[in-house]
Amino acid sequence: MILIEEAKYLAPSVKWFRLEAPDISLKAQPGQFVIVRAEEVGERIPLTIADFDGSRFIELVVQEVGEGTRKINSLKKGDYFLNVAGPLGHPSEIDNFGTVALVGGGIGIAPIYPIARAMKQAQNKVIVIIGTRTKELVFWEEKLHSVSDRVIVCTDDGSYGIKGVVTVPLNELLESGERIDRVVAIGPAIMMKFVAVTTQPYHVKTIVSLNSLMLDGTGMCGCCRVEVGGKTKFACVDGPAFDAHQVDFELLLDRMDIYKNEEHLCQLAGKV
């Protein structure tokens, strides 16, 4: 049982949690994730760690996409997560690369933050691009400003910042001739796929953090297998970060959709 110290909605259906989890906080590094359960009958849900202080707490940002995440977001300050296991996965590779562009889409904005902070500490020039469907879904813009040189915001409907998806400003940045040494993208699989397509012609090393379905998160079940460079990898223990230009995104998208109909059934059952 893990206590929720603070919780609030950052945007409609996007909720932020600060959890009292000293053991996890102590070991957490940017890019790692936890697996949580909100209730006894609940699924095990992997969530990337959004922030941590290295001694006392971790933070998570959860978007309601189905029954399980809706249950999580019904939890309030003073409630408990039934289970939180982590930190899991390899940490992001942090080094002095030069100039890095960090791309966060939707809920993927949150895990970009600790990576930006670490990249900044490693003396990189940090450019952050964040994108959502519409203005009210944008969060942590100020927080990201504090750990980067530049923050570019875009919305699909143009209600805030640049009109368009994240690849629009990313492409402009690459075309502008500014040297970009590395791109890190976290967000919906389809966004990460198009980030990979965008950076490929420029031969910029691009890392994506894959949000595969998982059970145990320790390499025991193979549920999260992905193909990277033609080889089968487990996102939970070999990743979650991989070279975007090597990832088979079609397979990832297919496998993420395996239980689409069951998710629907679950929602129906939840409403009865």
Partner 1 sequence: MKKRPPRQGMPKQEPSVRARNFKEVALGYTEEMAVAEASRCLQCKDKPCIAGCPVEIDIPAFIKKVSESDFEGAARILKQKNALPAVCGRVCPQEDQCEKVCVLGKKDEPVAIGRLERFVADWEAEHLKGEATSAMEKVWERRETPGGVAIVGSGPAGLTLAGDLAKLGYRVVIFEAFHKPGGVLMYGIPEFRLPKAIVEREIEYVKSLGVEIKTDYVIGRILTIDDLFRDGFDAVYVATGAGLPKFMGIPGENLSGVYSANEFLTRSNLMKAYRFPEYKTPLKIGKKVAVVGGGNVAMDAARTALRLGADEVHLIYRRSRTEMPARIEEVENAGEEGIIFHYLTNPVRIIGGVKENARGQWVRAIECIRMELGEPDESGRRSPIPISGSEFIMPVDIVIIAIGTGANPLLSSTTKDLPIDIRGYIVIEPETGRTSKEGVWAGGDIVTGSATVIEAMGAARRAARSIHEYISQKRAVLKTRIT
3 touching partner 1, by CB under 8 A: no
> Alpha helix locations (H) across 167-217?
167-175, 189-199
Sole binder of partner 1 in the list 77, 78, 82, 145 (CB under 8 A): 82
Among 3, 5, 6, 42, binds partner 1 (CB under 8 A): 42
Across the chain, the runs of DSSP E, i.e. the strands, are 2-11, 14-20, 33-37, 45-48, 51-52, 57-63, 80-81, 83-88, 99-105, 125-132, 150-155, 162-163, 182-186, 206-209, 225-228, 231-234, 241-243
Do the Cβ atoms of 61 and 10 come closer than 8 Å?
yes
Identify the residue among 134, 216, 245, 246 touching partner 1 (CB under 8 A): 216
Which residue number, 91 or 164, has a Cβ lying nearer to partner 1?
91
Backbone torsions φ then ψ of 42, nearest 5 degrees: -80, 160
Give dist(CA 264, CA 262) in Å, integer.
5
- 88 near partner 1 (CB under 8 A): yes
Q: Does 141 sit near partner 1 (CB under 8 A)?
A: no
Q: How far is the CB of 94 from partner 1 (least distance, A)?
A: 18
Q: Does 251 bind partner 1 (CB under 8 A)?
A: yes
Which residues are CB-neighbours of 171 under 8 A, at least 6 positions away? 198
18 is a contact residue toward partner 1 (CB under 8 A): no
In the bound state with partner 1, the residue whose beta carbon lies nearer, of 162 and 221, is: 221
Give the DSSP H or E segment for 224: none
Query: Any alpha helices (H) in 205-259, and if so which ranges?
Result: 235-238, 249-256
Rounded Cα distance between 94 and 97, Å, is 8
CB of 88 to partner 1, least distance (A): 6
Does the footprint of partner 1 cover residue 31 (CB under 8 A)?
no
Residue closer to partner 1 (CB basis): 111 or 217:
217
Residues 222-241 that bind partner 1 (CB under 8 A): 222-223, 225-227, 232, 237
Q: Residue with structure tokens 């790692």? A: 32
Q: Residue numbers of the site for partner 1 (CB under 8 A)?
A: 23-24, 27, 37, 41-44, 67-68, 82-88, 215-223, 225-227, 232, 237, 250-251, 253-255, 257-263, 265-266, 268-270
